[in-house]
Amino acid sequence: MNLSIRSKIIAFVLPIIPALIIFSAMLESTHRESDALRNGIVQTYEVNNTISALLSAIQRAEIGERDYLIGHEKDSLDLYLVSVNDIESQLATLRRLTKGNPIQRLRVKELDALLQKELAALEKAISLAQTSPSEGAVTITLHTLAIEEEIRHILAAMANEESSLLSLRKSEFEQHRVEQQRIELMLLIGVAMLYLILAVLLIRSIAQPINALAIKANKMANGNYSGKMEELGTDELGQLSRAFNKATEAIQLRSQEAEDKQTRLQTVIESSIEGIITINNMGLIESINSMALKMFGFSKDELIGKNINLLMPEPYRSEHDGYLQHYKQTGVKKIIGIGREVSGLRKDRSVFPMELSVSEMNINGQQLFSGLVRDITERKNFELEIQNRESRYRSVITTVIDGIITIDKHGLIESMNPAAEKIFGYPLSEAKGQNLKILMPESYHKEYDYFLLNYKSSGEGKIIGSSREVKGLRKGGVIFPMELSISELHVGGELMFSGLFRDITERKRVDTMKNEFISTVSHELRTPLTSIQGALELMLSGAMGKVPDTCTPLLKIASNNSARLVRLINDILDVEKIESGKMELKLKAIDINQLVEESILANQAYGDEHGVKFNITKRAPPCHVLADSDRLIQVMTNLLSNAAKFSHLNSTVDVDVQIIQDLVQVSVIDYGAGIPDEFKDRIFNKFSQADSSSTKQQGGTGLGLSICKAIIEKLDGRIDYESEADKKTRFYFELPIHDQTIVENELAGDTPSEHILICEDDLDVARLLKIMLEKKGYSADIAGSAEQAKECLLKKQYAAMTLDLMLPGQSGIDFFKELKQTEGLSELPIIVISAVADGGKKQLNGDALSIYDWLEKPIDQNRLAMAIRHALRGKSDHQFTILHVEDDPDIVTLVGTLLKGKATIDVAHNLKTAHSKLTNSYDLVILDLMLPDGSGATLLPKLASKTPPVPVVVFSALDRTEDLGNSVDASLVKSKTSNHDLVQAIELILQRHTNLDKD
């Protein structure tokens, strides 16, 4: 049944309605019949009444007439008249009532006639009585008696008739009433039966499912969610059942979730690393998790329901109940919501520190407290350890011989240890809060201010973390040397600096003594050696006459060993210098090929002694390194002599020089025994040789390679070796290339070289240009005229073109203009070379920008190379390239922003990076003087040695213009220079140098 409940009810009710109508109609009809019967009875009664009234009226009329006849009284006459009227009205009533009964109607007609007669007689009698004596009237009256009798008779007949009618009608009525009651009863029963059926049906289709729902709901209430309600069709009940099922599912899900949550919570509580205990407001334990049990050493049963104070040592135990009581009465909390450290009591009566936090909850009206407890024994121990450590540190700090001072970010002294007090002569009480400047000579004040300022703004300081030598100022004005290292601290979010320093007055003195000692010792050793070696040399040279053959080998042994002793002394002095950081390097650009050749030449004699030939197998393209030539030769000598010493007799030692990216690599390769593996880790260590016997045998000092390593590293290079036993050993060092030209040439050699077109009608000049360009690593083609040049340009891709303005046929100027209009060639960089360059410049004025450079004959080779280089670089980037040497990122950002669009900026944050970057060419260098690894000023010689020299703008916090002299183009002081001034200065210098290049 897919009907809705409403439809069902309608379906049940509909058949009842016609039944009800039929029953109603039947009832209506019986009612109508009974009404008719009742009316008949009423009419009978009315007829009888009217008959009586008529009879009475007739009597009253006769009485009135008689009395009038007798007494002639007016009252009697009135009675008579009233009665006559009455008679007539009664008669009319009677006529109306008997209309439907023919028999009675006839009788009324008869009666009417009789009454008319009677009344006429009476009327006559009265008239007579008024006019004449009474006899006549009596006669008439007598006569009326008979009529009267007759009237009475008819009336009686009528009354009889009505009586019989009445009894008949009454019986009919009674009979009808019984019938009606029967019908009504039947009707009632019928309706009742119908409703009964309806009720049964409704119960079946509505109540049962609802009942089922109720049962299910009860089950659910008892927590049984299993099983689905069967679906009850599609009607509202169906919907209800589905909704109920949905609700059941939802409730089931929620309840599952709640259960899961509960389980999880339980698990969390159980697995919590903190103990969790709940107590009621009596202080009795309601629940306790495993951790808490473990912590206190009890089992669950031992604690549930027990007073929590069981877990507390005195005095907490006694206080606790009072505390709870107090809280209950006053609501004043002591622990609730606040964690605090208390002591706990284990089952074994041991006491341990714990952290407790209590929260209050109200569950179903029951006041509960949950306590989170954590065993903090370890933390306490740790804290104790820290305290101990701190006191140890403190005692170290107070007893250490180094001075320790802390200053705040404003540079004011915060603390000084006793050593610092002693060194400077100020007690802490006097120094505290004073500016650190009181402890330094005035020459340091400016730098110190700058340091603090710079640190505040950039968070960077060059002196942080590194140790350096400075001067200190004692109370009383004595200046002394000290070694200082500064570190940054953050104490409670506040920036602070701590300085650790040592008075090195004594060390300096010892240093000086040591230097003097070494110097003296070396002198004292060399002096006798001078005699020994001189004497031996004179004898061996034969200057003193012939030495017997048997003596010569012995003299040689003596001579060699004295020479070795001299080398050893020299090496020891070198090592001492390196270690004390006193090795000074006289840096200049050195042609590496040349240096290698010289070294080989100088050492060939030594090689010859070992029967070894030095052989250059590979040369680098011309290139320079920035180095101290003496030291570099020392390195080469060492490597060559080592190679010779460890080579087989009559073998060669190969030397190879090559460029690897921006480094030049020099390798010295021997084909001797190689270096044993176990020796590899310490080959560059002092006094290390593969075996000590070889040291003696080979006459080495064991210091050479460690000195080489120190020298090469000081030159920003790297030294290393690779060795294959009995095959070959290669020692090599790498140094940064000093000039970029060479790198470009080298690249040009590796990659297809850049083609330059020479458009020149004078063949001698053209050849000269070609040679010049080829020397610089370019390939060049010659075109004798504009026409030939066009042909070449069609055939090949050229990187640039030189152009003579005086050409046969089409003039250089016209050719130039034509090229600028030609698609694909308009961008070709053109270098104008002409005896009349100036005139051409005027003619090409509007187009001057498209020309990269102007050169006048006779041509300077370097100018040409530079012009080509600029042209090729300009092709990819028209902007200037600037190297900014600066360690302060804020300044870098500032300058970068100011020069945006004007130049491409490359940044070096320290000297070392700057050195390696300077292998590239720059149009300008902006230089900071105070760099983390030294003074920027040390870059100046390198910059000046470049061809052409790189313009330099010093932009530093220090005002050092005078010291730097002519080597810089501008010196700007950071705090005094506006952004505008900086940009203007840079632009001006760039412009000036560009013009210098061009003019």
Around Cβ 841, how many Cβ atoms within 10 Å? 16
Helices then strands, counting H and E runs in the chain, come out as 31, 29
Task: Tell me the window of 179-187, 503-511, 530-538, 947-955 that interacts with another protein (CB under 8 A).
Answer: 530-538
Q: Is 846 exposed, middle or buried (0-12, 13-18, 19+ CB in 10 A)?
A: exposed
The minimum distance between CB 695 and another protein, in angstroms, equals 21
Could you say whether residue 545 binds another protein (CB under 8 A)?
Answer: no
Contact present, 811 and 840 (Cβ < 8 Å): no
Could you say whether residue 978 binds another protein (CB under 8 A)?
Answer: no
Site for another protein in 45-74 (CB under 8 A): none
Could you say whether residue 543 binds another protein (CB under 8 A)?
Answer: yes
Instruction: Considering only the C-alpha atoms of the chain, give the largest distance between any 2 of them, rounded to a whole number of Å.
Output: 243
Identity of the residue, 522 or 881, whose beta carbon is nearer to another protein in the bound complex? 522
The minimum distance between CB 525 and another protein, in angstroms, equals 8
Task: Tell me the window of 532-540, 614-622, 756-764, 866-874 that interacts with another protein (CB under 8 A).
Answer: 532-540
Six-digit token pair at 270? 């159980």
Given candidates 527, 797, 822, 893, which one binds another protein under the rule CB under 8 A? Answer: 527
Given candidates 528, 808, 889, 948, which one binds another protein under the rule CB under 8 A? Answer: 528
Given candidates 141, 562, 638, 706, which one binds another protein under the rule CB under 8 A? Answer: 562
- Residue type (1 letter), 915: H
The CA distance from 958 to 446, in Å, is: 9
Query: Three-state SS across 105-164?
Result: HHHHHHHHHHHHHHHHHHHHHHHHHHHCCHHHHHHHHHHHHHHHHHHHHHHHHHHHHHHH
Task: Tell me the window of 337-345, 360-368, 489-497, 520-528 that interacts with another protein (CB under 8 A).
Answer: 520-528
Given candidates 328, 340, 379, 523, which one binds another protein under the rule CB under 8 A? Answer: 523
Identity of the residue, 83 or 634, whose beta carbon is nearer to another protein in the bound complex? 634
Q: Which residues pair with 718 in a beta bridge?
A: 734
Query: Could you say which DSSP state residue 282 is in?
Result: T
Q: Count residues binding another protein (CB under 8 A).
A: 26
Identity of the residue, 516 or 827, whose beta carbon is nearer to another protein in the bound complex? 516
Identity of the residue, 427 or 528, whose beta carbon is nearer to another protein in the bound complex? 528
Could you say whether residue 603 binds another protein (CB under 8 A)?
Answer: no
Q: Which is it for the CA torsion 154, 158, 163, 165, positive or negative?
A: positive
Given candidates 282, 538, 554, 848, which one binds another protein under the rule CB under 8 A? Answer: 538
Query: Could you say which DSSP state residue 822 is in?
Result: S
Could you say whether residue 427 binds another protein (CB under 8 A)?
Answer: no
Task: Tell me the window of 531-539, 671-679, 712-720, 937-945 that interacts with another protein (CB under 8 A).
Answer: 531-539
The minimum distance between CB 515 and another protein, in angstroms, equals 9
The CA distance from 104 to 161, in Å, is: 8
Q: Which residues pair with 163 in a beta bridge?
A: none
Relative to beta strand 351-363, strand 366-375 is antiparallel
Query: Could you say which DSSP state residue 203 is in?
Result: I
The minimum distance between CB 518 and another protein, in angstroms, equals 9
Six-digit token pair at 734? 């790498």
Task: Report, in this order, helix, strand and coil percent for the chain, each rounded to 5.
Answer: 60, 20, 25
Given candidates 31, 124, 577, 730, which one binds another protein under the rule CB under 8 A? Answer: 577
The alpha carbon of residue 921 and the mean position of all alpha carbons in its chain are separated, in whole angstroms, by: 42
The minimum distance between CB 585 and another protein, in angstroms, equals 10
Could you say whether residue 573 binds another protein (CB under 8 A)?
Answer: yes
- Contacts of 259 by beta carbon, 8 Å cutoff, 6+ apart: none
Q: Examine residue 889 and say whether the peptide bond preceding it is cis (omega within 30 degrees of 0).
A: no
The CA distance from 672 to 644, in Å, is: 9
Given candidates 86, 88, 402, 537, which one binds another protein under the rule CB under 8 A? Answer: 537
Could you say whether residue 339 binds another protein (CB under 8 A)?
Answer: no
Closest by CA position to 765, among listed 882, 859, 889 = 859
Given candidates 533, 638, 753, 956, which one binds another protein under the rule CB under 8 A? Answer: 533
Identity of the residue, 15 or 528, whose beta carbon is nearer to another protein in the bound complex? 528
Site for another protein in 582-601 (CB under 8 A): 582, 584
CA dist 796 → 786, 793, 799, 800, 997 (Å)? 15, 5, 10, 11, 29
The CA distance from 837 to 851, in Å, is: 12
The minimum distance between CB 999 and another protein, in angstroms, equals 40
The minimum distance between CB 629 and another protein, in angstroms, equals 14
Could you say whether residue 541 binds another protein (CB under 8 A)?
Answer: yes
The alpha carbon of residue 123 and the mean position of all alpha carbons in its chain are separated, in whole angstroms, by: 137
- The angle, 0 to 180 degrees and rounded to 10, between the axes of the packed helices 236-271 and 208-221 is 10
Identity of the residue, 564 or 718, whose beta carbon is nearer to another protein in the bound complex? 564
Site for another protein in 449-488 (CB under 8 A): none
Identity of the residue, 496 or 572, whose beta carbon is nearer to another protein in the bound complex? 572
Given candidates 85, 467, 531, 697, which one binds another protein under the rule CB under 8 A? Answer: 531
The minimum distance between CB 963 and another protein, in angstroms, equals 20
Six-digit token pair at 289? 């998790």
Contact present, 472 and 479 (Cβ < 8 Å): yes
Given candidates 566, 572, 894, 973, which one binds another protein under the rule CB under 8 A? Answer: 566
Task: Tell me the window of 298-306, 540-548, 752-760, 927-935 that interacts with another protein (CB under 8 A).
Answer: 540-548
Six-digit token pair at 758? 């020479």
Name the site residues for another protein (rule: CB under 8 A).
519-520, 522-523, 525-535, 537-538, 541, 543-544, 562, 566, 573, 577, 582, 584
